[in-house]
Structure 1
Amino acid sequence: MKKMLVLMLTLTMVLAISACGGKAKESTTESTQQPTTKTEEAAATEEEFLPEPGAKLVVWSSGTEKVLVDEAAKAFKEKYGIDVEFQEVGPDKSIERMTTDGPAGVGADVFLAVHDRIGSAVQSGIILPNDYHEEETKANNSDKAIEALTIDNILYGYPNSVETTAVFYNKDLVPEAPKTWDDVIKFAKTFNDPKKQKYAYMWENGNGYWNFGFLGGYGAYVFGKDGSDPSDIGLNNEGGVEAMKFYQSLKNTVLPLKTADITSDIKKSLFTEGKLAMNVSGPWDTISLKEAVKNLGVMEYPTLPNGQPMKPFSGVKAFLVNANTKYPNAAKLFANLITSEEFQIKDFELLGNLPSNKKAAENDKIKNDPFASVFLKQFENSVPMPKIQQMNAFWSVHEATFTSIWNDGVDPKVALDDMVKKMQDSIASSK
């Protein structure tokens, strides 16, 4: 009996060990059939996400950026065999145009836009979220760029570039970049000669985009501290009034011209002719100005009389996918390709645009560039334009407000109070 029990116990143990060994072997076999690294896993997933059969794409962007779209289209064609057609619709007009063209079925599949209109686009339902490439996009791009394209915790765009404004200067006219506005004013007293169209410092002084640096530097804001609260408009706070008093004083000391007499083209022409010493513009002008001005420099904005730096608006340009596209997979793949590290570096090389991609920003060509490095530094000390839909209320009244302060000498507090009241009325009527 004892022998029988020992035999049965031994047989049971053998079977148990055999079963465990079989499971271990089976598990090992299964694991070898799966990707063993994250790279392989991503590659396997990428293979599953393919463009729709017979897809063809239309892309909207500005005329100057056609060269970048063409480069990306060539790479996309080689990879997927899909044709990409370029159409000139600038990022400042694309969302407005897509609002009508998208639902009508005649809008581009992918289009470039500036982040401050994202809220309107989401509200209108004309763009798709960046879902498939979301984690990749977030990991690769600056936090400011990602935040600019996020609404209600949903990422909607594929960041392409970041931009803000700074001050180009002619080193032959201004050997040492002014550090403060006092320095600019002193220089203007010796350089300005309106009869000869000579001016020390020029910006588009009737435009809220270009004037916000004064307001931001004095602590004024558009919609709350993070630009998302339309019930809290701080343009006419104490700091905002002080900012506009200083702004208004510059007509007599630095720039004796009416707002209508200053345009981007006029500034650029005077600057390249050597009649303008300091020209406020953005990185998009770097390449053309380097060709036209022999001894060109760029500096951050001069410090304000309150001892604080100016804080200009900044923007993020992104490629968006039309919610009504027939080829959403192909469109997402193209948007991801043209905003990759490789193409953001190309964008800088071709057009001087600053990358939102973190690795691209660390590329030696960009990091060591004396112009790009200054703009990227100024970008860190900037205020992203509010992206909520109510920002339209600001854009609808900004020119009238600043023109009245500058041209007509209207009291800054009166003008700003009126501006805020009109914005509040516009927001209330749109509900």
Structure 2
Amino acid sequence: MKKALSVLMTSALTVGMLAACGPQDEETSTSPASGNGEEKPEKLVVWEDKDKGPALDYAIKSFEKEHGIKVEYKEVETTKIQEQLALDGPAGTAPDVVTIPHDNIGPAVTKGLLTELTTISDESTSRFSESSLDAMTFDGKLYGLPKATETPVFIYNKALMSEAPATMDELKTFATDFTKGGNYGFLALLDNYYFAHGFLNGYGSYVFGEKDGSFDTADLGVNSAEAIEAVDYISTWYKDKLLPNGIIGENGGSALDGLFNEGKVASVMNGPWAFQGYTAAGIEIGAAPMPTLPNGEPVKTFMGVKGWNVTSFSTNKEWAEKFIDHITSDENAKKRFELTQEIPPNTALLEDPIIKDNELASAVALQSQNAVPMPSIPEMSEVWAPMQSAIQTVITGKADSKKALDQARGTIEENIKANHGGK
């Protein structure tokens, strides 16, 4: 975990790692026990995302063939996995492996639902991007291996913009010329802290500092000089009438999507979840990493990571770790992308044609290299509303950025103390 992660929530990316699982696993497959003496089970049970089960079949078949262990999976809504695990664990019916979003790891560990990974080798972890591994880490311990990432990127209408600009300065010049008569050169929900974070963090601000490998909730950087500079920069887009005040608040997202789908917007900042809707509207879209900021730094967007985790109720922990190590190999990650279009954080796949030649996937993969995972600690829930309110106050001209961010910090501190026992 890095200080740059300390804010807030897609990275993908040469095949041929199947052999990496070979000799070592082959040796254990001939023995009834793993290296530390754990008996080989007859089967492992896995909870997978809803409608994603078939993507596991390819990896399961090779694991079963190599180790002689049957793997059964059940599809469960990821939003319900923690709740169900808390019920099934004490009842003795919990799975060995689950998949959850990374920002759920902290709460799940706190509730005693997940166990630390202790047998995963450095060779295995080296295949993932650093930020995706950070997302799987809580209190300095690794609790999962990443399988998919998502993060906001720069999306543009190819009929209105020939190529993505390299810098925000270039984008602002384009937007200044293009924005008129109800048309916009660029739209983004920059009052929403999820999107604004990329700018604030790119300028060097942070939410929680770090202490002894964990987030330090007493160290708040939301009103730092860097944060003030970033919000001042964001506000120039509104002062110059390039971003309309109407594209803010709860309805901002639907308004942004509606204008883009009508062909009135040349480019937007949005996530891969928007690709399908834009394409269905008949827009030929392109995508790229976000343009660099005026200070020369990248926009450091929030990243969401889904991973594979071993439950604390499993009696087959070492074999469960072998399984998640196997299914996240480069070869199996590539196969999963082919079936689900979920973008893996395996860095070797960045150069694989399946990602490299896919403009949309490549954009998410490349942006993810500069993205930071959303903090998975409960205190992060106290940050969203005060920060959104502060940014909205600035862009609507009701307060300067220092006053607004100072107030946001005070509110965050009070709520952490009241709701989480913070000091």
TM-score range (shorter-chain normalised) is 0.7 to 0.9
Distance 1:409 1:176, change over 3 A: farther
Give how far 1:403 is off. Answer: 4.0
Q: Which residue of 2 aligns with 1:213?
A: 198
Kept in 2, the 8 Å contact 1:168–1:298? The answer is yes
Report the AA paired with residue 146 of structure 2: P
Q: Which residue of 2 aligns with 1:248?
A: 235
Give how far 1:166 is off. Answer: 1.4
Distance 1:331 1:311, change over 3 A: same
User: Is 147-156 or 397-406 further displaced after alignment?
Assistant: 397-406
Aligned with 1:260: secondary structure?
coil
Give how far 1:240 is off. Answer: 0.6
Tell whether 2:75 aligns with 1:86. Answer: yes
Tell whether 2:259 aligns with 1:276. Answer: no
1:36-185 matched pairs, under 5 angstroms: 40-47=23-30, 48-49=33-34, 52-53=41-42, 55=43, 57=45, 59-61=47-49, 63=51, 65-69=52-56, 80-90=69-79, 94-95=81-82, 97=83, 100-101=86-87, 103=89, 105=91, 109-135=96-122, 137-185=124-172
Kept in 2, the 8 Å contact 1:205–1:259? The answer is no
- What is the CA–CA distance in structure 2 between the aligned matches of 1:133 and 1:241, rounded to whole Å? 42
Kept in 1, the 8 Å contact 2:391–2:401? The answer is no
- What is the CA–CA distance in structure 2 between the aligned matches of 1:399 and 1:70, rounded to whole Å? 43
Counterpart pick for 1:304 among 293, 297, 311: 293
Distance 1:397 1:324, change over 3 A: farther
Aligned with 2:366: secondary structure?
helix
Distance 1:94 1:401, change over 3 A: farther
Give how far 1:157 is off. Answer: 0.2
Distance 1:104 1:345, change over 3 A: same
Give how far 1:87 is off. Answer: 1.8
Q: Which residue of 1 aligns with 2:344?
A: 355
Kept in 2, the 8 Å contact 1:401–1:415? The answer is yes
Between 1 and 2, higher relative CO (CA 8 Å, sep ≥ 6) is seen in 2
Kept in 1, the 8 Å contact 2:288–2:359? The answer is no
In the alignment, structure 2 segments of 5+ residues that lack a partner are 1-19
- Compare CA radii of gyration and give the structure with the larger one: 1
User: Is 358-367 or 228-237 further displaced after alignment?
Assistant: 358-367
Aligned residues: 387
Higher helix share: 1
User: Is 354-363 or 241-250 further displaced after alignment?
Assistant: 354-363
User: Is 421-430 or 167-176 further displaced after alignment?
Assistant: 421-430
Aligned with 2:381: secondary structure?
helix
Report the AA paired with residue 311 of structure 2: N
Q: Which residue of 1 aligns with 2:189?
A: 204
Counterpart pick for 2:327 among 316, 338, 351: 338
Report the AA paired with residue 261 of structure 1: N
Aligned with 1:200: secondary structure?
coil
Give how far 1:94 is off. Answer: 4.8
Report the AA paired with residue 226 of structure 2: G
Q: Deviations over 1:215-236 (max 9, x none)?
A: 0122211122787332321110
Q: Which residue of 1 aligns with 2:403?
A: 414
Distance 1:333 1:292, change over 3 A: farther
Kept in 2, the 8 Å contact 1:287–1:352? The answer is no
Aligned with 2:125: secondary structure?
helix
Aligned with 2:383: secondary structure?
helix
Report the AA paired with residue 25 of structure 2: A
Q: TM-score if structure 1 supplies the norm length?
A: 0.75
Distance 1:171 1:324, change over 3 A: same
Supply the RMSD in Å over aligned alpha carbons.
3.6
Tell whether 2:242 aligns with 1:259. Answer: no
Distance 1:88 1:377, change over 3 A: same
Q: Percent identity?
A: 30
Kept in 2, the 8 Å contact 1:159–1:318? The answer is yes
